[in-house]
A and B are shown apart, each in its own frame.
Chain A
Amino acid sequence: MRRHIPLILAVLIIMPTLTWAAIGIGTPCTGFGAAASSLSINTCTANGSNTLVIAGFRFYTNGQAVTAVTYGGVTMTLLRAEAFTAPDFEARQYVLINPPSGTQTFTVSFDGAVDIDAIVVPFTGVNQSAATGTPNGAHGGATGASIDLASAAGEVVLDFLYAFDTTGLTIGAGQTQQASIGNVRASTEAGAATTTMSWTWTNSDTYLMLGVPIKPAAVVTRRRGGPLWLD
């Protein structure tokens, strides 16, 4: 006869717990060029762990195309582009996961002369295997712009706005402006199931807007577990 004797052992075991890192936002770098075939900004930094940089820029074009976008000499990946015609101008958003640390140069090159405004925003605490969610964008002519992004608590949503006429430019509720150069702005907002990024301005005019959710790194912590039951 087998006896089952419940034995409570006060054994403390190590149990892993999965949490999410807080996403940190570093100091952006900004630059601009007029009638330029390339622009390099030499003061960009991305220090810390689980880093990510996202670059946003707009350019006026007479058919000129982007030929290269690099950060620290590493080619960045296009997330999304929004284009407008007559006049032709375009906004693009690029990402680089785990960029070179320290002070680096961001460069964008074209096959001809354009006017460009660019902002690069660095982040820490970002998921290195699934860094970004689905980007979104919009363009048109109005006195405001708005895009919705599918996100989640713990994420951060980044947007870039280009507004032809920035008179009375007002940032949307809950957003924090991170950088400004020329007619381009970058802002962030804490993620939610649907995060709306928006801007308004006074005079109806053309705009381009891009946004992307940024996902936090998973952090495995260990804690003392409860009692272990053994048969």
Chain B
Amino acid sequence: MPIPVETTVLNEATYAVGDYSFLPVSIPVGYTVAYAKLSRALWLDPLTHVQWDISVSQDSGATWVPLASGTSVGGISIDPRTGIPRPFYTVGAGISQPDNPNRQLKGTIHITGGPITTTIYAGLY
């Protein structure tokens, strides 16, 4: 099993209402799960809303297919296991063709309801 990797794809900033995409990230051979996430620590307004859409390419970015999407709202979200706020909003999915060296991941967040301050990451395991 490959070592989990995670990288910052959009630095911490205040993002106004709109769409923000991160550039394609190569997926090395062996990884079977891809995800994108954003920090919640400074995303405190429950009236703000984020939708994640992540896509995967099997041919070095020539074509893309949707992989997963999800929605979440701002504010404190308590993890019932720990009783503390969840630090991230994450969406991920299993990815096929683990032996394919030409896979890539990209994603877009759609922000509505107001600006949010966050950092955006992409990861593999």
Residue ranges of A at the interface with B (Cβ–Cβ < 8 Å)? 27-43, 60-62, 87-89, 103, 105, 113, 115, 179, 181
Contacts and interface: CB of A to CB of B under 8 A. Distances in A.
Given A42-B65, A88-B80, A113-B73, A30 B86 contact: no
Contact of A29 (B40, B80, B94): B94
17 contacts: A34-B88, A35-B40, A35-B72, A35-B86, A35-B89, A35-B90, A36-B91, A39-B68, A41-B68, A41-B93, A42-B66, A42-B68, A43-B68, A60-B79, A60-B80, A61-B80, A181-B94
Give chain B's interface secondary structure class: strand
Given A35-B88, A89-B80, A40 B96 contact: no
B41 to A, nearest CB: 12
Nearest to B33: A181
Contacts of A115: 79, 86
B53 to A, nearest CB: 9
Nearest 5 interchain pairs by C-beta: A30-B94, A42-B66, A31-B93, A34-B90, A87-B80
Interface range on chain B (Cβ under 8 Å from partner)? 20 to 34
Interface of B: 33, 35, 37, 40, 65-73, 77-81, 86, 88-94, 96
Given A38-B71, A39-B70, A61-B80, A33 B91 contact: yes
Give chain A's interface secondary structure class: strand
Nearest to A39: B70
A31 B33 CA distance: 8
B94 A31 contact: yes
A39 B91 contact: yes
Nearest to B80: A87
B37 A34 contact: yes
A111 B78 CA distance: 14
Contact of B70 (A36, A89, A103): A36
Given A38-B71, A113-B73, 9 more contacts: A30-B94, A33-B91, A33-B92, A38-B70, A40-B69, A41-B93, A89-B81, A115-B79, A179-B94
